[in-house]
Amino acid sequence: MVVGDVTTGTEVLVIGAGPGGYVAAIRAAQRDLDVTLVERDAYGGVCLNRGCIPSKAYITATGVAHDAATAEEMGVYADPAVDLATMREWKEGVVDRLTGGVEKLCKANGVSLMEGTAKFVDDGTVRVEHDGEGQGAETVSFEHCIVATGSRPIELPGFDFADEPILDSAALLDLDSVPDRLVVVGAGYIGMELSTVFAELGSDVTVVEMLDDVLPGYEDDVARVVRKRAESKGVDFHFGEGATGWRDAADGGIVVTTETEDGEESTYGADRVLVAVGREPITDTLDAEEAGLEPTDDGFFETDERCATDVDGIYAVGDVAGEPMLAHTASAEGVVAAEAIAGEPAAFDTRAIPAAVFTDPEIATVGLTESEAEAEGFDPVVGEMPFNASGRALTVGETEGFVRIVASADGFVLGAQIVGPEASELIAEPTLAIEMGATLEDVAATIHTHPTLSEAVMEAAENALGQAIHTLNR
């Protein structure tokens, strides 16, 4: 039976229940607005279901096994066995708990939930097509709309995700068994995180990257630490090569072909291929032109500081609104959009957006690097604290890397780069320093618990001031 078309109305329609959409919906509801949230797949979006959370669960689990197997120096001898099926079941339990929590939070805050794919009819109406034969559709009119449809993996020519050996990151994390040989195309943050995971699980991992090093966009000395650690775990890197295609091999696996700019070809045997060459916004499912929305050539919706598009009443947050394509950026933008709709004086400030790569060791950055500060006209001062001089880093057996703080000549913190243990947690302090306009003296004068990794942030600030105690001053 076909369900009849019905028409409903809402003050705020949110399209997409990822970290941008569900946060926007909850905040709008908290501001006493009538909110409807439309999701076509799963609450929590890619981040909770197929990206951030599943990958970090695997990173943690494989890290436990690797640490146990390599702790002889501490007097710990172990030969842990990894059951990928059990690990996957645990990972899915974490995901289910979080996505279920998102749904409960939305309902508890009075958000109306609707499942289906939203397509614009005009700048005040969408049609929501429900999945499943005979489920029909319904029309929703709105006063304000927040588009938060997220992004998807970019598909490389010659590597169709529909082909069994070719995987995106989500499919790789859903495998029932560990591939003997894994070729990873792309050495960005997704490629590097998952290369390490599957090397620790026992795969023979080969990474092919068109550029000349891992993690493009990060400073050389930051990327170098991560690359060397990955190499020590058996990851084999081939730079300056672009993947061109693949074919079946006689041994039951496949052969991946690559080519350099000079036309030199190479081949690599594999059982599976992870394509991790970036992500693209999902704006082509919306019939956006019907609402007067025009994506850029890259598929993004341009927005102002209040996350508003050039169509009155329509906002865009998260990956569809452009770089940086980060879950926490989406959430922050979601709050701004909701507050703006509610009439609050909200604006999105890009000065202090941290980013983290959950490699081994972790990388985290915020604000400006030294060269970026110079390009913006500052005469920066820089301080560093190496983790090999940190008592706590020594006791956890993680001494590679450093904390670097960049400040203006008059001492205001402009940025920080951290590579080392718990970098993703440590970056919160310099992020707060930038957000509140703190100085090097403020950070250095803050008493930090001993022994902790966070002392390295204090020491880096002291080093920038030329008065570090536990490392040589620059």
If you compute the radius of gyration of the chain from its CA atoms, what whole number of angstroms results? 24
C-alpha dihedral, 329 to 331 to 335 to 336, nearest 10°: 20
User: Can you tell me the distance from the alpha carbon of 208 to that of 427, in angstroms, rounded to the nearest whole number?
Assistant: 30
Q: 444 lies in which domain range? A: 354-465
Write the DSSP string, 91-150: HHHHHHHHHHHHHHHHHHTTPEEEESEEEEEETTEEEEEPSSTT--EEEEEEEEEEE---
Residues 88, 46 share a domain? yes
What's the pLDDT at 89? Answer: 95
Residues 273, 378 share a domain? no
pTM for the full model? Answer: 0.94
What's the pLDDT at 7? Answer: 84
287 domain residue, yes or no: yes
**Domain of 82: which CATH number?**
3.50.50.60
Q: Which of 261, 277, 293 is the last residue of a domain?
A: 277
What's the pLDDT at 178? Answer: 96
Q: Looking at the 3D structure of the chain, how many domains does it have?
A: 3
Q: Where are the alpha helices (DSSP H) in 31-80?
A: 45-50, 52-69
Residues 131, 25 share a domain? yes
Residues 6+ apart with CB under 8 A from 459: 383, 385, 389, 390, 403, 468, 469, 470, 471
What's the pLDDT at 172? Answer: 97
Q: Look up 450 and say whether it is catalytic.
A: yes
Q: Which of 310, 342, 374 is the last residue of a domain?
A: 342
What's the pLDDT at 133? Answer: 60
Residues 227, 181 share a domain? yes
242 domain residue, yes or no: yes
348 domain residue, yes or no: no
Tell me which residues of the chain have a pLDDT lower than 50.
1-3
226 domain residue, yes or no: yes
161 domain residue, yes or no: no
Residues 374, 443 share a domain? yes
Residues 394, 333 share a domain? no
What's the pLDDT at 131? Answer: 78
306 domain residue, yes or no: yes
472 domain residue, yes or no: no
Residues 366, 460 share a domain? yes
What's the pLDDT at 2? Answer: 43
Q: Which residues pair with 152 in a beta bridge?
A: 280
Residues 271, 287 share a domain? no
Backbone angles phi, psi at 278, to 5 degrees: 120, 180
What's the pLDDT at 134? Answer: 58
Run of H or E residues at 153: strand 151-153
Residues 148, 50 share a domain? yes
Residues 18, 102 share a domain? yes
Catalytic residue among 66, 130, 448, 450: 450
User: What tokens does 186 get?
Assistant: 């792309």
Q: Which of 317, 342, 367 is the last residue of a domain?
A: 342
473 domain residue, yes or no: no
Residues 300, 411 share a domain? no
